[in-house]
C-alpha cells in the first residue's frame, strides 16, 4: 500500500495514484511508511526511504532494479500512460553491468524520476522511449527497448531513431511482452483498444 501526498512526485504519478490507488481516509503517509517492513537476514526491519528492489531469476545474480519506491512507481505510471500507444520493440545487448550508452540529442527529454539502475526513459507529448533490463545472464545484459508513438505513422520513426541513438548491438525483438504476441521484425504493435480510454488521451 502506498500513498502519494509528496509534492516532489511528478504530476503523472499523482494522476496514476489518484486513478489506481485506494486509500482509507484516516491513514496518513507516515503511518503507512512506519507499518512497512522488510526482512533482512531473517530479521524484520523498518523499510527505509531507499527501499530497493532486487530480483534474482534462476541462477542469475541479484541485481538492484529500482533505486527507490518512488522511482518504481514513476516508471510504472509512465508505462501505464503510454502502453496503449502504437509501439515498436527492440532488444539491445551490453556488457555485464553496463548501462546502454544513448545519444540523447535524438530523443525526447529524459524522465529522471522514472529512470533507475535498470530502466531508462525519455518522453514528450508525442513519443516515449523505454530501455528496461530484461535479463542478465553472466555473459551480457539484455535490454528491451520500446518506442511508443501517439500515431502509427510516428512509430515508423522508431527504427532510425533507436538505431542512431543507442550505441550497442540492437536488433528488432520477435516478441512483445506488453501485447503477449510474436512480432514480425520491423513491424509496429497497433494501438490497444483499451476499455478505459483515458490512458490514450492523457499526457504521457
Ligand atoms: Zn506490443
181 CA from centroid of ligand 1 (Å): 7
Q: Are 138 and 68 in contact (CB under 8 A)?
A: no
Any idea how long the chain is? 204
The rounded mean pLDDT for the chain is 80
Here the cell at position 61 is 545474480
Regarding predicted confidence, which is higher, 128 or 39? 128
CA of 102: how far to CAs of 36, 76, 120, 122, 167, in Å?
A: 37, 21, 10, 11, 6
178 CA from centroid of ligand 1 (Å): 5
| pLDDT given at position 193 | 64
Q: What is the pLDDT of residues 115-136, one digit of tens each?
A: 999 999 999 999 999 999 998 8
Q: Are 191 and 85 in contact (CB under 8 A)?
A: yes
Helices (H) and strands (E) in the chain, counts: 6, 11
107 CA from centroid of ligand 1 (Å): 20
CB atoms within 10 A of CB 27: 12
E-strand ranges in 67-115 read: 87-94
Percent of residues, the chain, with pLDDT higher than 70: 72
| Distance between CA atoms of residues 68 and 2, nearest Å | 13
Q: What is the pTM of this model?
A: 0.78
The domain spans of the chain are 11-50, 63-201
Among 6-15, 18-27, 54-63, the range of highest mean pLDDT: 6-15
185 CA from centroid of ligand 1 (Å): 12
The partner residues of 181 in beta bridges, in order of sequence, read: 176
| Distance between CA atoms of residues 121 and 81, nearest Å | 13
131 CA from centroid of ligand 1 (Å): 14
Residue 128's contacts (CB-CB under 8 Å, 6 or more residues apart) are 78, 81, 82, 85, 108, 121, 122, 147, 148, 204
| pLDDT given at position 8 | 78
Amino acid at each position: 500500500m502506498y500513498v502519494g501526498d509528496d509534492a516532489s512526485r511528478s504530476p503523472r504519478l499523482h494522476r496514476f495514484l489518484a486513478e489506481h490507488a485506494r486509500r482509507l481516509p484516516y491513514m496518513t503517509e507516515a503511518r503507512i511508511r512506519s507499518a512497512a517492513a522488510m526482512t533482512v537476514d531473517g530479521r524484520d526491519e523498518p523499510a527505509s526511504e531507499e527501499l530497493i528492489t532486487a530480483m534474482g531469476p534462476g541462477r542469475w545474480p541479484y541485481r538492484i532494479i529500482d533505486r527507490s519506491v518512488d522511482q518504481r512507481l514513476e516508471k510504472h505510471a509512465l508505462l501505464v500512460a503510454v502502453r496503449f500507444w502504437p509501439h515498436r520493440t527492440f532488444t539491445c545487448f551490453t556488457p555485464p553491468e553496463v548501462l546502454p550508452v544513448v545519444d540523447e540529442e535524438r530523443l525526447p527529454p529524459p524522465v529522471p524520476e522514472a529512470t533507475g539502475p535498470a530502466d531508462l526513459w525519455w518522453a514528450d507529448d508525442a513519443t516515449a522511449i523505454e530501455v528496461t533490463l530484461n535479463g542478465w545472464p553472466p555473459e551480457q545484459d539484455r535490454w528491451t527497448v520500446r518506442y511508443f508513438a501517439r500515431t502509427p505513422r510516428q512509430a515508423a520513426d522508431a527504427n532510425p531513431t533507436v538505431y542512431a541513438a543507442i550505441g550497442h548491438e540492437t536488433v528488432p525483438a520477435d516478441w512483445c511482452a506488453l501485447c503477449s504476441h510474436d512480432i514480425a521484425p520491423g513491424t509496429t504493435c497497433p494501438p490497444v483498444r483499451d476499455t478505459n480510454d483515458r490512458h490514450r488521451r492523457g499526457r504521457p
